[in-house]
Amino acid sequence: MVLHARQGCRALRARGGGRTVTRLVYVVAAGENGVIGRDGGLPWRLSSDLRRFKEITMGKPLVMGRKTYESIGRPLPGRDNIVVTRRGGFAPEGVIVADSLEAALKVAEEKARARGADEIAVIGGGEIFEALMDRVERIYLSRVHASPGGDVFLPALDPAEWRETAREDHEAGERDDASFSLVVLDRVAGRS
Ligand SMILES: NC(=O)c1ccc[n+]([C@@H]2O[C@H](COP(=O)([O-])OP(=O)(O)OC[C@H]3O[C@@H](n4cnc5c(N)ncnc54)[C@H](OP(=O)(O)O)[C@@H]3O)[C@@H](O)[C@H]2O)c1
């Protein structure tokens, strides 16, 4: 299934303001230095964070870039996997392919409504996080207490735009490379 840009743009305009109705959230793990990726993969091993990722995203539509999809390598079960790419002919089984972010958000909104999900989870990578920065309302951030080398970054977060509404600090477990904090950031009302 391939969705096209014009369909998405029309739907968002019809609702006015270019915002989705369901809350748009990011689910991301970032080092102290903002690094989120290296050489097409993750720069750490963090089993605890993978569990949290599953808990937050289960039953929701996911929006991701083609490179992130390829780094995962398969559709994630129990979720709608919506992949954006400009590549014609990209059509892995079990995935909804969109040729623009607008088209991806439109189908995500429809899928969320059909599932009764209250959030659309944008799961990366760097290009997609950058492009949707003005629209995201909540960030589920795993702040990894390390500063690994990397080539993909989470865009800088303006502290005036974001309020921390939850935090849990965790020591590194047996299968974690570093300690980490699970943080929820909500966009400050009226500032977006
Ligand atoms: N730490 C974390 O939480 C986390 C999360 C996700 C990913 N990552 C890491 O981040 C890295 C991948 O991020 P990335 O920034 O390189 O790539 P990405 O954002 O995953 O994917 C970029 C691709 O998405 C497509 N795309 C982007 N904007 C588009 C648009 N407006 N319309 C249509 N298609 C569009 C293009 O695909 P085509 O080239 O096919 O046209 C583009 O090359 C990997 O290292 C991954 O492991 C880390």
Give the model's pLDDT for residue 10: 32
What pLDDT, on the 0 to 100 scale, is given for residue 2?
Answer: 60
Which of 57, 152, 180 is the pocket-test mutation for ligand 1 (most atoms within 8 Å of CB)? 152
| Boundaries of every domain in the chain | 2-187
Q: How far is the CA of 76 from the centre of ligand 1 (A)?
A: 16
Q: Which two tokens stand for residue 130?
A: 């950058």
- The pLDDT value recorded for residue 189 is 81
* 163 three-state secondary structure: strand
| Straight-line distance from the first to the last Cα atom of the chain, in angstroms, rounded to the nearest whole number | 33
pLDDT at residue 161, rounded to an integer: 96
Q: Which of 49, 86, 102, 141 to mutate to test the pocket of ligand 1 (most atoms within 8 A of CB)?
A: 86
- Say what the alpha-carbon torsion angle 164, 169, 174, 176 is, to the nearest 10 degrees: 30
- Distance (angstroms) between ligand 1 centre and the Cα of 21 equals 24
- AA identity, residue 161: E
**pLDDT for position 130:** 98
Evaluate if residue 149 carries a pLDDT over 70. Answer: yes
Tell the CATH topology of 2-187: Dihydrofolate Reductase, subunit A (3.40.430)
pLDDT of residue 52: 94
2 Cα to the center of ligand 1, angstroms: 18
- Condensed to tens digits (0 to 9), the pLDDT of residues 9-59 reads 333 333 434 444 699 999 999 999 999 999 999 999 999 999 999 999 999
Using the predicted structure, report yes or no on whether residue 4 has a pLDDT greater than 80. Answer: no
Amino acid at 186: D
Q: Of ligand 1's atoms, which has the minimum distance to the CA of residue 99? A: 33
Ligand 1 centre to CA of 127 (Å) is 5
Per-residue DSSP letter, 46: B
Share of the chain above pLDDT 90, in %: 86
Q: How far is CA 33 from CA 148, 184, 191, in A?
A: 8, 18, 25
Strand order in the sheet with 138-144: 2-3, 96-98, 80-84, 61-65, 119-122, 23-31, 138-144, 180-187, 162-170
- Segment 62-66 shows an average pLDDT of 98
Q: What is the pLDDT of residues 94-147, one digit of tens each?
A: 999 999 999 999 999 999 999 999 999 999 999 999 999 999 999 999 999 999
